Amino acid sequence: MAAVRTSGEIALNRLAIVGVLIVTLIFLAPIYWIASTAFKPRNLATTIPPTVVFEPEISPFVKLFTKRSQIRQAPTPEVYEAAPWWERMIYDGGEKVVRSGRGEVQLSGYPSRFMNSLIVAITSTVLAVGMGTFTAYGFSRFKVKGEADLLFFILSTRMLPPVVVAIPMFLMYRAVGLNDTHWGLIILYTAFNLSFSVWLMKGFIDEIPKEYEEAALVDGYTRMEAFFKIVLPEAATGIAATAVFCFITAWNEYAFALIMTNRRAQTAPPFIPSQVGSGLPDWTVIAAGTFLFLLPVAIFTFLLRNHLLRGMSFGAIRK
């Protein structure tokens, strides 16, 4: 916009600032509500009027990580005293921790599902960005017959509704025993992210001047050396931005995870909703699980904000 000049413009600008602040508050309110509910005692989670000021607790997280059962009778004072502080918290909530025959604390399903999410998202991101970077370089620097068609083919693989691909993939996976395995999901997410990775990386690599490598070739580097020592470091920002996008997609994916996994390799997105069950759900525990799950992506978004803005609008501006 042109520089602010008239008093009318200044008033309009003030109005815009107020508008932006209100919109931002509205957009962040649900996220704030998730975060605050994750630290509430259970009885304050569903009060009307909503509880805004409260003493934060970590009992939702303790409950999230442990396997619990309803207590039939209140613990005797000796048992209560002997229990560690975090178990007392659960007693107070009307539940107790389930222990194995040898007295070991039983973990809930959440930690393993969270680990599955990490394994699947990180591995598929590395594969998608790695393959995508190589392919993007190939398209960017060499002449390829039918380049536009091939690139369109690569992009078109992303247009399909996941459920459409899921049916034959489910049958294929069942035939080769990839159902409910980490690799099954990793391969799917890699295939899903690869198209995106190629397109985004091609944009970034196109921007690196060809002269850099040509100079390196004159200096006696081989093409491969020039790629690894000159192009890759130059493309580091683009690789980081692409990796975050791929990670976010794989981390958040729901439909395939729901269909292709059930126990061993299940990730958190289908697991957290399945814990609601019937009856009154404990929203503090759900909020704690949601909060922990959203945390990595929120941190990523904040750390890489400048690259994200550039990376996201990139493809669109260039066309």
Site residues (CB under 8 A) for another protein, limited to 44-73: 46-50
Instruction: With beta carbons less than 8 A apart as the criterion, state whether 124 and 183 touch.
Output: no
* Near another protein in 297-316, by CB under 8 A: 297-298, 300-302, 305-306, 308-309, 312-313, 316
State the minimum distance, in angstroms, from the CB of residue 317 to another protein: 5
Taking the least distance from each CB to another protein, the nearer of 25 and 98 is 25
**What does each C-alpha distance from 199 to 153, 244, 252, 313 come to in angstroms?**
11, 15, 21, 13
* Near another protein in 184-223, by CB under 8 A: 187-188, 190-191, 194-195, 198, 214, 217-223
* Near another protein in 83-112, by CB under 8 A: none
State the minimum distance, in angstroms, from the CB of residue 206 to another protein: 15
Compute the distance between CA of residue 259 and CA of residue 255 in angstroms, rounded to an integer.
Answer: 6
Instruction: With beta carbons less than 8 A apart as the criterion, state whether 241 and 311 touch.
Output: yes
Taking the least distance from each CB to another protein, the nearer of 105 and 187 is 187
**What does each C-alpha distance from 148 to 155, 238, 242 come to in angstroms?**
11, 22, 21
Instruction: Determine which residue in the list 28, 82, 107, 115 makes contact with another protein, applying CB under 8 A.
Output: 28
Instruction: Determine which residue in the list 170, 180, 234, 240 makes contact with another protein, applying CB under 8 A.
Output: 170
State the minimum distance, in angstroms, from the CB of residue 289 to another protein: 8
Site map 240..259 versus another protein, x via CB under 8 A? --------x--xx-xx---x
Taking the least distance from each CB to another protein, the nearer of 112 and 252 is 252
Nearest to 56 by CA among 45, 48, 46, 70: 45
If DSSP codes are grouped into helix, strand and coil, which group holds residue 180? coil
Compute the distance between CA of residue 307 and CA of residue 241 in angstroms, rounded to an integer.
Answer: 6
Using DSSP, how many helices (H) and how many strands (E) does the chain show?
A: 16, 2
11 binds another protein (CB under 8 A): no
Taking the least distance from each CB to another protein, the nearer of 16 and 74 is 16
List the beta bridge partners of residue 2: none
